[in-house]
Amino acid sequence: MSNIALEVRDLCAGYGDRQILKNVSFTVSPDDFFAIIGPSGAGKSTLIRCVNRLVEPTGGSVRLNGEEILDIGQRALRLARRNIGMIFQEFNLIERLSVLDNVLAGRLGHTGTTRSLFRMFRREDIAQALTLLDRVGLTDHVHKRADRLSGGQRQRVGIARALMQNPRLLLVDEPTSALDPKIAREVMGLIREVARERRIPVLCNIHDVKLALDFCSHIIGLQDGVKKFEGRPADLNEKAMHDIYALEVL
């Protein structure tokens, strides 16, 4: 079995004449928790979204468990996305649905829209959803509407929903920016724990450098679409921080 879960090579992306990512390369192993840091507008969210082609790259290569993602058609892409769970900044829950139904939505790529619309989920799927809700500490909120939850609880639903896919990669897009500091640390700790338990590699776009240092195993620093740093948290010294944030207006 390959020790490379995700391989990104010379990745480029942009809109019109504006280049947002400029030849970014890195590899992620199954046990890695990568943080992507950098100033606003550096290309962090674009990088995350290029991996599952929510943003279409303009060049380069993205290989997930050896499969090239960038040159496959829409049907093959839908199948590939089953293996990529995503946790969003703004939670992306269906407000009027229950916590359980929101988590079961993570099986949409497997069950199809019609079965999901009529809530025709298999018993195994419901059992898995309940197990995941217990794991993220939401057993007492299973039948509560999503719009009645706190921000931290909503993000926990998002984590459980992503895990319902049984993903081989987790993409995490600013998971704590809408949370207070204490809850942000709890959410980052939970993501790290469940990823380790299931040996799912994580690629996390995060603005808070302190959280990146405390919870992630590797850090990539972007500035203006260019990779300025890659290494362990212990290697992120003052010079590296200056290289990443030199253009930031303080």
pLDDT digits (tens, 9 = 90+) for 98-148: 999 999 998 875 555 555 555 667 899 999 999 999 999 999 999 999 999
DSSP code, position 126: H
Tokens of 53: 């082609």
pTM assigned to the model: 0.91
Tokens of 222: 């972007």
Return the CATH number of the domain spanning residue range 1-81+213-250. 3.40.50.300
**Alpha-carbon separation of residue 224 from 7, 32, 38, 85, 189 (angstroms):** 21, 25, 9, 27, 29
Q: If residue 37 lies in a helix (H) or strand (E), which one and from where to where?
A: strand 33-37
Helices (H), 166-208: 181-198
Q: If residue 203 lies in a helix (H) or strand (E), which one and from where to where?
A: strand 202-205
Instruction: Convert the pLDDT of each residue in 201-224 to its tens digit.
Output: 999 999 999 999 999 999 999 999
